[in-house]
Amino acid sequence: MNESLDRGVVAYRQHHRTSFDERASCMRKAAAILDAECRELGRLMTLEMGKPIKAAVAEAEKCATACRYYADNAERFLANQPVDMEGGENWVAFQPIGVVLAIMPWNFPFWQVFRFAAPALMAGNVGVLKHASNVPQCALAIEDVFRRAGFTDGAFQTLLIGSEMVEEIIADPRVAAVTLTGSEGAGRSVASAAGRNLKKSVVELGGSDPFLVMPSADLDSAVSTAVMARMINNGQSCIAAKRFIIHEKIYDEFLKRFTAGVSAVRIGDPLDESTELGPLATSAIRDELDKQVKDSVAAGARLVVGGEKLARDGYFYAPTILTDIPPNAPAARDELFGPVASVFRAKDVTDAIGIANGTTFGLGASAWTRDQSERTQLIDEIESGLLFINGMVASDPRLPFGGVKNSGFGRELGEFGIREFVNIKSVRVMETERRKGAATE
């Protein structure tokens, strides 16, 4: 670890002095590698954590898109901003800060890393990655992509270490900041350690994202999207829709169609191109999900379909729907990280918003309506970092990504994401009295 941090400091001294054009050239090479090797890299993701191969290949391609986006836009995002003030020249500068530690999860083993690394490296910072322990080959492959792309030696390094070493690294004076995507517990621990050491942190944590459907919605589109939004990445996504809040006028019809759609999801070998739902990443994740479902049923929830482990090789869990869920049930209050949908009935849009906000999380939200007044109310009142109207919540390099409440703080992606790990420096260059006098002679 010490050698890696020393190497990172040395790399920073060189890397932050490179031009935006030099960094952009390397970042575009990284994008080209990702595109050319997307099938091999996708297979690596599938083998390590079980996501369907088509989604894994698409993830590698999405990383390439992010690399090109920041290669094209970083210089503009970080350009000096003039300030209109009397006396001399005045501007705001955005300057890199050094070595940034990234603690990343297994569920999107490439995308979660690249959405940090692309803006961080383009800003002139360097990165050290502590990836999830179950995706070590992905972690090493990412380091190799940046190395082959021609970045400064040591500008991006993977540390194959356990979680017990994270606090020590955060405290190390060679590390300037830390970013984490993970559980609420991990976020509290990392943010606390960063705070004790007076270091900047960004934490993107869990979500219990609502999916609201009003009577004016295109029900066919809403239902088909709802199935995809719950089953994406085998249900293991922070921004997967988890709580489906349906207006009482269309509740029965939605539930009927939704149940048919969930029941028709193709389960199988994640290396098979036709598979829509693969296994969960670990036995512990499946066991926890099964317990949450059983505890919810014991609390009074109704099991519509699924609710069991599947007897096949791998940690498969049946696509599941729960309804009539009491407020004290795990399916109402907690994040269920797997293919389990919680369905709620709402009296009107105000009631639906109340149910949507009735959680400690606030990451993403999807709402379906063609009524303009309802759209306005939803945008104004739903407590989330992302809100998609008549569409599925998704991350995009052009849009800032992050949450409120227990879903974390700070932003990734977009113009705001690249400014999280820079020194926002106010600069004033004043004219001296002598110079002023000389100018009038």
- Neighbouring CB atoms inside 10 A of 257's CB total 18
Distance between CA 83 and CA 106 in Å, rounded?
A: 43
Distance between CA 237 and CA 288 in Å, rounded?
A: 16
225 burial (CB, 10 Å; 0-12 / 13-18 / 19+) is buried
Cβ neighbours of residue 390 under 8 Å, at least 6 residues apart?
Answer: 217, 218, 221, 367, 368, 369, 370
Q: What backbone torsions phi and psi does residue 101 show, to the nearest 5 degrees? A: -85, 130
- Quick check: is 288 catalytic? no
DSSP 412: B
Distance between CA 16 and CA 32 in Å, rounded?
A: 23
Place of tokens 């690399």: 67
How far, in whole angstroms, is CA 298 from its chain's centroid? 32
Query: Helix count (H) and strand count (E) of the chain?
Result: 16, 16
Distance between CA 104 and CA 362 in Å, rounded?
A: 20
Place of tokens 């759209």: 375
- Quick check: is 164 catalytic? no
Catalytic-role residue among 59, 238, 276, 335: 238
In whole angstroms, how far apart are CA 167 and each of 77, 176, 201, 284, 361?
32, 13, 13, 24, 25
The first and second tokens of residue 173, run together, are 């004076």
Catalytic-role residue among 48, 59, 143, 204: 204
Distance between CA 199 and CA 187 in Å, rounded?
A: 14
List helix spans (H) across 16-110: 20-36, 38-49, 53-77
Distance between CA 117 and CA 18 in Å, rounded?
A: 16
The first and second tokens of residue 325, run together, are 């869920």
Cβ neighbours of residue 379 under 8 Å, at least 6 residues apart?
Answer: 387, 389
Is residue 403 within 8 A of residue 205, CB to CB? The reply is: yes
- Residues carrying an active site annotation: 204, 238
